[in-house]
Structure 1
Amino acid sequence: MIDFCAIDFETATHERNSACEMGICVVENGEIVKTQTWLIKPPSFPYFHPRNIDVHGILPEDVQDAPSFEDIWHEAENLMYGNLMIAHNAAFDAGVLRSCLDYYGFFKPKINYLCSISIAKKSWKNLPKYGLKSLAEHHHLSFNHHRAGDDAEVCAKISLLAFDKLMVTSNDEVQEVMKKNMKLL
């Protein structure tokens, strides 16, 4: 069966290390087993760019008592340990993760990651849009868009539906079918 974690970040500014929310959805044996969300106090605190607030609605006062990325990383890393990582627009989320790890001086784990957009394009050709909201609507999934836990969980659900459509049932098969799209963190 397929094991992976879907991940999503929201950021406070244009800086990639400014994560203000992180969501991880853990999939074991093709089933969602846990979704965890953390509000994070970013290095830019108390500054949040107004445009970012417009996207996700997270305000500086929402994170004033939140832990830093440094404080939550070990818990998050344990959820991700040994897993394939999937994100919607993965280049962004992998970049945020890399930047946060660099900022706090953590080693980068050796994690393979995939973008759920490429998985969706392989599964459902000729859809008009492949954004998370569009794919969720196409599959009748409702969620609170631009909140990290919800986005991670919908990313996981869409990925599972896509793997089902591709008749992919194991991580080895994911590697084989998606090998051109697989990247290393």
Structure 2
Amino acid sequence: MPPLPVGDFRFIALDVETACGDSASICQIGIACVGFDDSILTWSTYVDPLMPFAPFNVDLHGIGPETVRGAGSFAQTWPQMWPLLSRHPMVQHSRFDEHAINAACKAQGLPRPRLTWHDSVTIARRAWPELKGNGGHGLANLKQVLNLDFHHHDAGEDARAAAMVVLRAQATTKDHRLFKPVQLSLPL
């Protein structure tokens, strides 16, 4: 696993890719740490999902058994990430990532993490209500509408995109309190 970012951030966006239809099958985790100067530091790692890959998922994100060979399991990776994540507000683009993290924790015998989650889809809906019914607020449409530069279906890139959506929404609405940054630090 590559070294995690260090320091304190305004918020951290997180995204996961899964190996199959089981949401616990995390095969990649990416985070985008947003600094107090709005800089974005992106980090990602592959994870051995300890279950088979489905062809649909491999076709979607390009991650397969050979990609994760030698990577740690979620149970090995998550405790190393926890100290950083637990003290920052978390952003996800839809509720899937939180659900997948909780499912992977349950499947691998880890306690359910208590994180402060915010949804960049909800934030985007407040900033750009005109997109409802006009392509929507998914990352693919926001990429086009907001002219975002990222590689979709890579966990680090999608986390960075979610962070960019929040930053653009704040700039658009002039509301830098689209979510309240709450510090929450609970043991794993």
SS at match of 1:155: helix
Structure 2 distance, partners of 1:154, 1:33, is 10
Q: How many residues align?
A: 170
Deviations 1:27-60 (A, max 9, x none): 132523421101010020xx20111112111111
Structure 1 distance, partners of 2:170, 2:115, is 19
Task: Compute the TM-score of the two structures, normalised by the length of structure 1.
Answer: 0.85
Q: Kindly provide the amino acid, as one letter, of the partner of residue 46 in structure 2.
A: L
2:6 corresponds in structure 1 to none
Equivalent of residue 155 in structure 1, options 154, 162, 172: 162
Is the CA contact (8 Å cut-off) linking 2:143 and 2:149 kept in structure 1? yes
2:186 corresponds in structure 1 to none
1:100 corresponds in structure 2 to 104
Specify which structure has the higher proportion of strand: 1
Deviations 1:117-162 (A, max 9, x none): 1100100111112110211221111211100000000110111111
Aligned: 1:7 with 2:11:
no
Identical aligned pairs, as a percentage? Answer: 31
SS at match of 1:8: strand
Structure 1: state its 5+ residue gaps: 177-185
Equivalent of residue 85 in structure 1, options 53, 78, 90: 90
2:176 corresponds in structure 1 to 169
1:121 corresponds in structure 2 to 125
Task: Compute the TM-score of the two structures, normalised by the length of structure 2.
Answer: 0.83
Which stretches of structure 1, 4 residues or longer, exceed 4 Å deviation after superposition? none
**Counterpart mapping for 1:33-72 below 5 A:** 33-44=40-51, 47-72=52-77
Structure 1 distance, partners of 2:121, 2:40, is 22
Specify which structure has the higher proportion of helix: 1
Structure 2 distance, partners of 1:95, 1:30, is 30
Structure 2: state its 5+ residue gaps: 1-8, 182-188
RMSD: 1.8
